[in-house]
Amino acid sequence: MKEKRNNKTKMIFVRLEEQDYITLIGRQKSTTERNLSAYCRKLLMAKPVIKSVQNDSLREVLHTLSLLQKDLNGIGNNYNQMVKRLHTADKIPEIKTWFLQYLNEKDRMLSAIEDIKKYLDKTAEKWLQE
């Protein structure tokens, strides 16, 4: 039996001044609602809106970890491409070149992993002191 979907088919258009719109967006961003229309629906229907509570140090940690993840993804992609080329290389000079690049990329990856470990240790120590 098919479930009946609760599609929203009615629209309301509201005109706002620039400052009112900026205020509305600012208030929406301080909640757990990531969608402006869902936030406005809750306000219009007098439903509770949950305020977002985030620690500034946590926000900084998440930002740093996302940057580290980006770096690791790039290094991992390069590493995988080099291993694939090593497997398909059939000339000795080509293998030597790719092997040297492989060793260089491996060192970068291990260095990045060490940086992540140090950062996580420092962050854990900071949080345990609070």
Q: DSSP letter string over 81-125?
A: HHHHHHHH--SHHHHHHHHHHHHHHHHHHHHHHHHHHHHHHHHHH
Contact 105, 79 (CB under 8 A): yes
Instruction: Please tell me whether residues 88 and 61 are part of one structural domain.
Output: yes
pLDDT at 106: 81
Q: Residue 130: its pLDDT value, please? A: 53
Q: Which of 30, 53, 76 is the endpoint of a domain?
A: 53
Query: Are residues 36 and 65 located together in one domain of the fold?
Result: no
Q: For the chain, which residues score pLDDT lower than 50?
A: none
Residues 63 and 124 in one domain: yes
Are residues 73 and 34 located together in one domain of the fold? no
Residues 47 and 20 in one domain: yes
Instruction: Provide the number of structural domains found in the chain.
Output: 2
Q: Are residues 1 and 47 in the same domain?
A: yes
Q: What's the pLDDT score for residue 19?
A: 96
Q: Distance between CA 49 and CA 117 in Å, rounded?
A: 38
Q: Dihedral sign, CA of 101, 66, 120, 118?
A: positive
- What letter would DSSP give residue 32? S
* Secondary structure of residue 50 in the 3-state scheme: coil
- 107 and 83 share a domain? yes
Helix (H) or strand (E) holding 40: helix 36-44
Q: Same structural domain for residues 91 and 105?
A: yes
Q: What is the pLDDT of residue 102?
A: 79
Domain range spanning residue 114? 56-129
Residue 88 and residue 35 share a domain: no
pLDDT score of 12: 87
Q: Is the pTM of this model over 0.85?
A: no
Residues 60 and 124 in one domain: yes
AA identity, residue 77 = N
Whether residues 48 and 89 share a domain: the answer is no
Q: Are 28 and 36 in contact (CB under 8 A)?
A: yes
According to the model, what pLDDT value does residue 3 have? Answer: 65
Same domain, 65 and 116: yes
